[in-house]
Amino acid sequence: MPSFSHFFDTLIDTRGVFFDAMILTLELTVVSILIGIIIGLVVALLKISRIKILGYVSDAYIYLVRGTPLIVQIFILYFGFSGIFLIPDFWAASLALAFHNGAYIAEIFRGTIQSIDRGQMEAGRSLGMTRGLAMRRIIFPQALRRALPPLGNQFIIGLKDSSLAAFISLNELFNVATTLGSNNFDEMNYLLIVAVYYLILVAILTLGLRALEKKMSISDQ
Per-residue pLDDT of 79-111, as tens digits, reads 877 667 777 888 888 988 999 999 999 999 998
Predicted pLDDT at 31: 94
184 pLDDT band (50/70/90 cuts)?
confident
* pLDDT > 90 fraction of the chain, expressed in percent and rounded: 41
Query: What is the C-alpha separation between 181 and 190, in angstroms, rounded?
Result: 6
Burial class of residue 171, CB neighbours in 10 A (0-12, 13-18, 19+)? middle
At 174, the pLDDT band (50, 70, 90 cuts) reads very high
Q: Residue 64: pLDDT above 90?
A: yes
> What pLDDT, on the 0 to 100 scale, is given for residue 220?
54
